[in-house]
């Protein structure tokens, strides 16, 4: 049996009200296209359908890079900076100006997003806001354009 010093935080997908607030703060409407991905994606998708988000679709993390651009991407589980970088590295799955809503892994401090901005900015995203929902840190970022290419000297 595994024991924890404190109870692990449930994924954002387990709290529909918190997920609705995060989407509202990101400016995501019920009529917009939303890619939902990650291990908590299916429960989130069920809640989204019940709440009237008819444009939501589940996309396996391995297929996210191949998808057409959506209005929003929702990653409703505790995502580490490295996992986020791997998910978005080749992905053009979010239209310019689109919202990325991601639950940040719990080991990061509530005062900082850790490496999240340094990972997202070179990929063409700007961190817009962070929310704290019942022990979860949720990051909202906007896609500002094409990824910046690093030039070797």
Q: Give 2-39 pLDDT, tens digit per residue.
A: 554 555 578 898 899 999 999 999 999 999 999 999 99
Q: What is the pTM of this model?
A: 0.86
Measured CA to CA, the distance from residue 44 to residue 19 in angstroms comes to 8
Q: What is the pLDDT of residue 110?
A: 46
Q: What is the pLDDT of residue 3?
A: 52
Measured CA to CA, the distance from residue 57 to residue 129 in angstroms comes to 24
Both structure tokens of 139:
């990051």
Q: What is the pLDDT of residue 133?
A: 80
At 58, the pLDDT band (50, 70, 90 cuts) reads: very high
Residue corresponding to tokens 């900015």: 121
The answer to whether 49 touches 30, Cβ cutoff 8 Å, is no
The answer to whether 54 touches 30, Cβ cutoff 8 Å, is yes
Q: Give 66-108 pLDDT, tens digit per residue.
A: 899 999 999 999 988 888 888 888 778 999 999 999 998 865 4
Domains (ranges, CATH) in the chain? 12-104+113-136 (3.40.50)
Both structure tokens of 92:
């053009």
DSSP letter, residue 24? H
Task: From 91, 84, 35, 88, select the one nearest 65 (Cα to Cα).
Answer: 91
């Amino acid at each position: 049996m595994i024991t924890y010093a404190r109870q692990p935080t449930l994924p954002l997908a387990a709290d529909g009200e918190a997920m609705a607030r995060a989407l509202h703060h990101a400016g995501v409407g019920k009529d917009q296209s939303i890619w939902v991905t990650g291990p908590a994606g299916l429960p989130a998708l069920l809640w989204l359908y019940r709440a009237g988000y008819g444009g939501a679709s589940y996309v396996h993390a391995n297929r996210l890079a191949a998808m057409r651009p959506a209005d929003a991407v929702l990653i409703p589980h505790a995502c580490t900076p490295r996992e986020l970088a791997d998910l978005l590295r080749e992905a053009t799955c979010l239209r310019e100006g689109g919202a990325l809503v991601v639950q940040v892994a719990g080991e990061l401090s509530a005062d900082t997003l850790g490496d999240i901005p340094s990972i997202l900015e070179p990929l063409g995203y700007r961190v817009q806001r962070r929310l704290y929902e019942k022990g979860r840190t949720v990051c909202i970022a906007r896609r500002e354009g094409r990824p910046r290419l690093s030039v070797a000297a």
